[in-house]
Amino acid sequence: MRRTIGGNGSDTTLATQAYLNSTSDPIIRDLILIGPPENPNALYLTNHEAPVLYRPYGLFQPAVMSRGGVEAKVGLDAQALAVTWSPGASAQASKTASTSTASPYQLAAQHFYDNWPLLILRAFMPTPGDADTLGCAEWFGGRIQNCKVARNKLIFNTKSYIDVLKQKVPSTMVEVTNTLASTAAVTLPAGDPSIPVFSCIRPSSATYIVADCVSPSAGKIYSGDLFAGGYMVFLSGPGATLAGAWSAIGQNGAWTDGDGNTHSEFVIYSPLPWPPTPGVDTFYVSTTAPINVGDEDYYGFPFVPNPTQAV
């Protein structure tokens, strides 16, 4: 299930799961935050009958509101969601030149809410109104595409944040394997201050590369298969024959020549168009990107919920 955070900031996922397992009539409410929390015009709304305090964000006031639904999907399909709100007391404000005192209708008509973030939290209440003990799970996050002013209500049409991943981007967009962007978005080996760069030597071929580390530590031999699953990208430079060519790395290790000198060797998955020129072609390498919680420097989602178990 989704992760729930209690009012004191603790992870209450297990307690929430136990609560849901123990009852067939759980009290679940929506808390909707429209706008940046630090903005005094941000709207804190709930469909609970009384005000709800969720300390990580603040006090949500009861409001006349409804929302559409979203589907749990894997992929980049951006979810669209409409939230409808009929302002009550706050709608009484008269037209004014100050955003701090303007009514929501006036602000919406002036496109004040366009592109504002919209966050929907699901509060699990062991007792009515208690959003502190078990807290909330983030249920939907997105940006308001437009806010439609209708009779006695505002309709916030929202697209999920994942929408940003579907945009067409220029070729210089930073991507891990976009060699045309000339951008090295690599995953560094642990402890290295900069991207490892190697210079090819004999007897490199189109699928087997022997090279010496140039930087950050000249001649450094990395541990075996440290770069397995990563990739190498050939650099431009005087005489370079393979600039922009790249391949995933299958194995790496140490190779000793006939003089007893140790060099680095790489076995790559995709054959290069031709063997690199020893002493001329250089390339940089990346270790594999962290994709699991246990991987070092992993900053992504802890896990993707199983759709059949997600709340």
Partner 1 sequence: MSLPVFPTLPGLTYTSLKAPAFKTLDEEGSNGYEVRLPQYTNPIWSWTLLFDFLHDFFWGSFTAVSELRTLMGFFTDQFGKAAAFLYTDPDDNYVGPALVAGTPNAPLAQLALVSDGAGNYYSPVQRTLDGVGYEDVTDLNGAIAVYLNGTLAAAGSGANEYTLEGPGLAIPGYSWLGMVLKWGPGAPSWAATHAYVVNAEIIDPAGHIQKATGAAWPALTPVALGYEIIDPAGHIQKITTAGTTGASIPTFNDTGGTTNDGTGGTMAVWTDQGSAGGSAGTSGSAIPAFNDTGGATPDGTGTLVWEDQGYYAGPAAPVTAQFHFYFRVRFDADSQDFEKFAGIGSSAGQPPAGQGGGYWTVGGSESQNGTGTLVLRTARPVPS
Using CA atoms, how far residue 232 sits from 93, 116, 156, 226, 266, in Å, is 62, 40, 46, 13, 9
Closest among 296, 287, 294 to 228, alpha carbons compared: 287
Does 26 sit near partner 1 (CB under 8 A)? yes
| DSSP-derived 3-state class of residue 30 | strand
Does 89 sit near partner 1 (CB under 8 A)? yes
In the complex, the smallest distance separating the C-beta of residue 295 from partner 1, rounded to whole angstroms, is: 37
- What is the helix, strand, coil percentage profile of the chain, to 5? 10, 35, 55
129 vs 290 by CB, closer to partner 1 = 129
* 44, 57 contact by CB (below 8 A): yes
**Tokens standing for 76?**
């980049």
Does 133 sit near partner 1 (CB under 8 A)? yes
Does 53 sit near partner 1 (CB under 8 A)? yes
Does 45 sit near partner 1 (CB under 8 A)? yes
Q: Which of 13, 42, 112, 129 binds partner 1 (CB under 8 A)?
A: 129
- Measured CA angle at 91 (ends 86, 95), to 5 deg: 135
Q: Which of 1, 3, 41, 55 binds partner 1 (CB under 8 A)?
A: 55
Element (H, E) at 123: strand 117-125
Q: Which residues contact 54 (CB under 8 A, 6 or more apart)?
A: 7, 31, 60, 121, 123, 131, 132, 135, 136
**92 burial via Cβ count (<10 Å: 0-12, 13-18, 19+):** exposed
| DSSP-derived 3-state class of residue 26 | coil
Does 1 sit near partner 1 (CB under 8 A)? no
14 vs 59 by CB, closer to partner 1 = 59
43 vs 120 by CB, closer to partner 1 = 43
Q: Which of 128, 244, 271, 300 binds partner 1 (CB under 8 A)?
A: 128
Interface region with partner 1, contact rule CB under 8 A, candidates 48-56, 109-117, 152-160, 266-274: 48-56
In the complex, the smallest distance separating the C-beta of residue 9 from partner 1, rounded to whole angstroms, is: 12
Q: Which of 11, 49, 114, 257 binds partner 1 (CB under 8 A)?
A: 49
In the complex, the smallest distance separating the C-beta of residue 134 from partner 1, rounded to whole angstroms, is: 10
129 vs 250 by CB, closer to partner 1 = 129
Under the rule (CB under 8 A), what is the footprint of partner 1? 7, 24-28, 43-45, 47-53, 55, 59, 61-64, 86-90, 127-133
